[in-house]
Amino acid sequence: MNRLLSTALITTAIVALAACSAASGAGTAKPSIDPNALTISAKDLKFSTSTLSALAGKPFQIAFDNQDSAPHNVAIYRDSSAAGKVFGSDPFSGPAVVRYDVPPLAPGSYFFRCDVHPAMSGELTVN
């Protein structure tokens, strides 16, 4: 029974540590960012802008400054149904700045959002 108790307590400790470390988020090292990169930030569970625009057929960068402790990301979808993801990466906890390297996109209107907080959203225009 003591062995069972020890196993349960060790398992519990591992789960608790994993939960804490998983929720603590990414590092805070600043990435090198293209001066022409699109910029967007998140604060108080809101994006700084609801519109972004980029040139069609060319890769571009997005500098995302998450100023919240809550995890956020910027994921790009074909439309507001968020069914077809065009670009996305894992949410990270702030404060931290992350550079996204977005592949070339065809002209059109795209939908972007934070996957953890779908109310944080906007429109990316590519032309």
Residues forming contacts to another protein in the complex (CB under 8 A) are 1, 4-5, 8-9, 11-12, 15-16, 18-20, 22-23, 45, 68-71, 73, 90-91, 93, 115-118
Rounded to the nearest 5°, which phi and psi values hold at 93? -85, 145
**Structure tokens given for 55:** 């040139």
- Cis? peptide before 107, omega within 30° of 0: no
Q: Which is nearer to another protein, 48 or 125 (CB)?
A: 48
Q: Which is nearer to another protein, 9 or 55 (CB)?
A: 9
Quote the CA–CA distance of 116 and 111 in Å, as a whole number. Answer: 15
Q: Which is nearer to another protein, 16 or 55 (CB)?
A: 16
Evaluate whether 26 touches 96 at the Cβ level (below 8 Å).
yes
* CB 21, min distance to another protein, A: 9
